[in-house]
Amino acid sequence: MPAPRLHETLIAERIVELIDQGLAAEMGLKVVAIGALEFFPALESLADNVPAVFVKPSPATNLERITTGQTYRIVYNFRIVLVKAFGPNEEIIKHKTEEAQKIAELLIDNVDLGGLALPNGQVLFSTLKTIEWEPPEDNLVATINATMTAAALVFAVETTSRK
């Protein structure tokens, strides 16, 4: 079987690795994982596992054939959700913004995902598309524990891939 042309998992693993190596200690991250917040196995004890970052492919991967052969331009989109707790008298918005911006800066500084090599392809570049300060996940974590908040980043990685 030939090497795969689609690389969502490989790219997601690299994003997790960059965040884990670059920010886990500084931000005190307890969880940095591929997955969706809503499917976190210990959702009822999420408050004991924050701050946390979840990375998932979302909302879609876009493929476009760019030659008559089997070469594709593929844009992978990832949703990166930061969940953090806050204490009494804390400047919640300011601190959430600062923490999300650390992730944003890390992604901006690694446009080639740290030189990630793809089988049958290459990373052309990556782009931070949006930062959501009040994402739907914010409501989810607030219903679990009123002292948690979330921010989300949408990150796109453009690649080429061939047979």
Residue 43, pLDDT score: 77
Q: List the domain range (segments joined by +) for residue 31.
A: 8-161
Residue 6, pLDDT score: 86
Inter-residue contact 2 to 160 (CB < 8 Å): no
Residue 67, pLDDT score: 77
**How much is the pTM?**
0.93
Residue 130 lies in a domain: yes
Which CATH number covers residue 138? 3.30.2000.30
Q: How many domains does the chain have?
A: 1
Residue 2 lies in a domain: no
Partners of 81 in the β-ladder? 54, 152
Residue 20 lies in a domain: yes
Tokens representing 162 are: 């061939």
Please calculate the CA angle 140-62-37 and round it to the nearest 5 degrees.
Answer: 15
Residue 86 lies in a domain: yes
* Intervals of the chain under pLDDT 70: 1-4
Residue 1 lies in a domain: no
Residue type, 114: G
N-to-C CA span, the chain:
11
Residue 120 lies in a domain: yes
Residue 73, pLDDT score: 93
Tell me the pLDDT tens digit for each residue of 79-88: 999 999 999 9
Report which of 127, 18, 27 is spatially closest to residue 78, judged by C-alpha positions.
Answer: 127
Residue 77 lies in a domain: yes
Residue 3, pLDDT score: 63
